[in-house]
Structure formats: structure tokens, C-alpha cells
Amino acid sequence: MFSKLLRTGAVATLIFSSAAAHAACTPAISDENLIAPGKLQLSINPTNPPQQFVDKDGQLQGLNVELAQELSKRLCLQVDLIRMDFPAMIPAMNAARIDGIDTGMFWTEERSKLMYMVPYATQAISVVVAPDSGTKIATEQDLIGKSSAVEVSSYQMNWLKKLSDASVAKGGTAVEMRTFPTATNVVSALLARQVDNALLVDSVARDLVSRGRVTEVLSGLGMARTALAFRNKTAANAVVNVLNAMRSDGSYQALFDKFGLTSLPVEQPFAIVGPGPA
């Protein structure tokens, strides 16, 4: 199943720099710490604007795309962004098909034991409805008994499952949760009236609201850090050094200001958080 997901999802690669561009500098990550010599290969799921998306010309755009460009320049390495759906990413990394994940993945304690996670942003969950649906949701408890669309294997799914399980444990009703492979599929299901509401990363929800596609009814749920992730600790530490340098010279905050996302608070230094793989 994994090989099928990888074949169907990772069909487009964006290469940010050539060997010639790096001829005058020394790579910050040596080849023994990379799957392919001279390349840092990161997965991305470009269905979450403004974090990452495909523009009208078929080009990858967004904060995480420009962050990868900056990593390429400062690490003195070619960076390949490999497109795939989120459920395939962790298996791909564990199978040594990619070096890391660049898709704004929420940090969790469980995930931090599977890979080296470097938090670099802060996000939350928003609940959205179709603009003309008339669905009334004032608190998170109003999700109980309704049908909700979420991305499979996502932070949003796990957050909603905990809410539903807590309701059932008290003798109440469960949430009717329907899972989809991407945020695009989630929104399509919502607008097709297959569900009452959808749970999205807040930056994605704001982008859709700005284009009049959905109405946001709840925001700020499950506030947490989002992270880059790596299979190799040396590679992760090299990226930590780049992020700290970007914060020092102002380019980190400028990037987040450009795309309207929430940066990691300055009192939180960039670092690997969690034990990493056993």
C-alpha cells in the first residue's frame, strides 16, 4: 500500500538549486547523513495554502516552499520537494525514501518518538461551514452529534477523536467523523454537503474565508506547535542552525509576516523537541 501511495503522490519534485550554485560553499550536511548524496529530500503536501500550494501555472508556492529555498541556500545543498499525501510521509521517511517532512505537521509527543522534530511555527484548528449552510456552532461541544470532515492521520482528526471519545465516555453522543486524504478533499466534501462542518488548520481556513469559500465558526482550538521532521539527527541539527540564523537576521519573521502565519514565540529557541527514534 505504501509503495502505491508513494507512486501516486510523489509524482512531482521541485529542485531548488544546482550543484553549480553550491560550488563555492561546503554542504552543512555530509553525504553519510543523507539518502542521496548532495540532496536533502523533503516531502510536501501542497493542498494547504498559504503554507504550501500549487499556483495557476502548476508551480509550488507558499511559506514552506520558500523556507525550503532558504534551507537550500544556507545549507549549501540541493533541496528536493517531493509531493505526496500526508498519510504516506512518515512511512516514506521510516523506509528511507525521504530525508524529512516539510508540510507544517503538528508536533505531538507520539510523533516526536518516531522522528527528529523541529518546531518552527504555531497553529491551531478552525471549524468551518459552507457559507449558506445555516449550521450553528458556538462552542466545541456543538460538534457532538454532527458530521465533521477531517484529513486522515492529522492532528485535527486526533483532536476531534478525543472530543468524541470524551462525550461517549460520559454517556453522550459521538461525533460522526469522516476522513479524507487532503484538505482539498475535506473542503470539497463540505461544499458538497456531505458533512455539517470541517476542521482545518487555521491558516488554511483563513485563506478559504478570504476567498469566500467557507465561513469560520470556531477558531483557536488545540493551539500547538508545527514542526519540520527528519530521519537523521545531524540533518535536523543543521536545520536548527539555519532557523536560528534566520531569526537573528530577521528573515524568519519576514517570511511569516509575508504569508500571515504565526511564528514561534521568540522565547522558544529552535531545537529538536522530543527523544527522536529509539
Express each pLDDT in 26-62 by its tens digit.
999 999 999 999 999 999 999 999 999 999 999 999 9
Cell of 92: 516514506
For position 219, what pLDDT does the model report? 96
146: left (phi over 0), alpha (psi -120 to 50) or beta: beta
CA–CA distance, 64 with 157 (Å, rounded to integer): 22
CB 76 within 8 A of CB 26: yes
* 4: confidence class by pLDDT, cuts 50, 70, 90: very low
Going by their DSSP bridges, the two strands 215-230 and 116-129 should be labelled as: antiparallel
- Looking at residue 166, the DSSP 8-state letter turns out to be H
Q: In the chain, where are the structural domains located?
A: 2-123+224-263, 124-223
* 24: confidence class by pLDDT, cuts 50, 70, 90: confident
CA–CA distance, 24 with 110 (Å, rounded to integer): 41
Intrachain domains 2-123+224-263 and 124-223 with the same fold: yes
pLDDT at 18 over 60: no
* 9: confidence class by pLDDT, cuts 50, 70, 90: very low
CA within 13 Å, CB half, 165: 6
pLDDT at 2 over 60: no
pLDDT in tens, 132-171: 998 889 999 999 999 999 999 999 999 999 999 999 999 9
N-term to C-term CA, the chain:
25
CA–CA distance, 168 with 53 (Å, rounded to integer): 37
CATH architecture for residues 124-223: 3-Layer(aba) Sandwich (3.40)
Q: Return the SS3 of 105.
A: strand
pLDDT in tens, 194-211: 999 999 999 999 999 999
**CATH code for the part of the protein at 2-123+224-263:** 3.40.190.10
Q: Return the SS3 of 154.
A: coil
